[in-house]
Structure 1
Amino acid sequence: MFIETETTPNPATLKFLPGRAVMPSGTRDFASPEDAEASPLAAALFDSGDVTGVFFGSDFVSVTAAPGADWSALKPQVVAVLLDHFVSQAPLFTGGDASGFTVPAEDEAEMLGDDEGTEDVVAQIKELIETRVRPAVAGDGGDIRYRGFRGGVVYLQMQGACSGCPSSTATLKHGIEGLLKHYVPEVTEVRAA
Structure 2
Amino acid sequence: TVTRYSEGIVGMSTAEISITGEPISEATCRFTVDRPVYPDRSFAFLNKAQAQGSPLAERIFAIDGISRVIVAHNQVTVNKTVAEQWPQIGRLVGAAIREHVASGDIAVSDEAWEGMPSTDEIRESVQRVLDAEINPSVAEHGGVIRLIDVQENRVFIQMGGGCQGCGQANVTLKFGIENVIRASVPEVAEILDVTDHAAGRNPYHTPSKK
TM interval, short-chain normalised: 0.5 to 0.7
Please give the alpha-carbon distance, in whole angstroms, between the structure 2 residues aligned to 1:31 and 1:90: 20
The gaps in structure 1 that reach 5 residues or longer are 97-102, 116-123, 148-154, 163-174, 183-193
Which structure: greater strand fraction? 2
Larger RCO: 1 or 2 (CA < 8 Å, sep 6+): 1
Match of 1:42 in 2: 57
Determine which of 72, 80, 84 is the counterpart of 1:57.
72
Q: Secondary structure at the match of 1:49?
A: coil
Larger Cα-atom Rg = 2
**For the residues of structure 1 that align with 2:127 and 2:85, how far apart are their CA atoms?**
43
Cα distance in 2 between the residues matched to 1:69 and 1:86: 25
CA distance in 1, matches of 2:94, 2:40: 23
Task: Choose from 14, 36, 44 the match for 1:29.
Answer: 44
CA contact (8 A) 1:63 1:161 kept: no
1:71-110 mapped onto 2 (5 Å cutoff): 71-94=86-109, 104=113, 106-108=116-118
Distance 2:86 2:31 in 1: 13
Residue of structure 1 equivalent to 2:8: none
On the 8 A contact 1:65/1:71 being kept in 2, the answer is: no
Instruction: Point out where structure 2 has 5 or more consecutive residues left out of the alignment.
Output: 1-15, 129-145, 160-169, 201-210
- Kindly indicate whether the alpha-carbon contact (under 8 Å) linking 1:2 and 1:19 is maintained by their aligned counterparts in 2: yes
Q: 1:160 to 1:59 in 2, by over 3 A?
A: same
Q: Contact (CA 8 Å) 2:69, 2:77: kept in 1 or not? A: yes
Report the AA paired with residue 29 of structure 1.
A
Q: Partners of 2:189 and 2:108 in 1: how far apart?
A: 18
Is 2:54–2:108's contact at 8 Å kept on the other side of the alignment?
yes
* Aligned position for 1:125: 147
Partner in structure 2 of residue 189 of structure 1:
none
Q: Distance in 1 between matches of 2:149 and 2:127?
A: 15
> CA, structure 1 residues 60+113, in 2 after alignment: closer, same or farther (shift >3 Å)?
closer
TM-score under structure 2 normalisation?
0.50
Q: Aligned residues, how many? A: 139
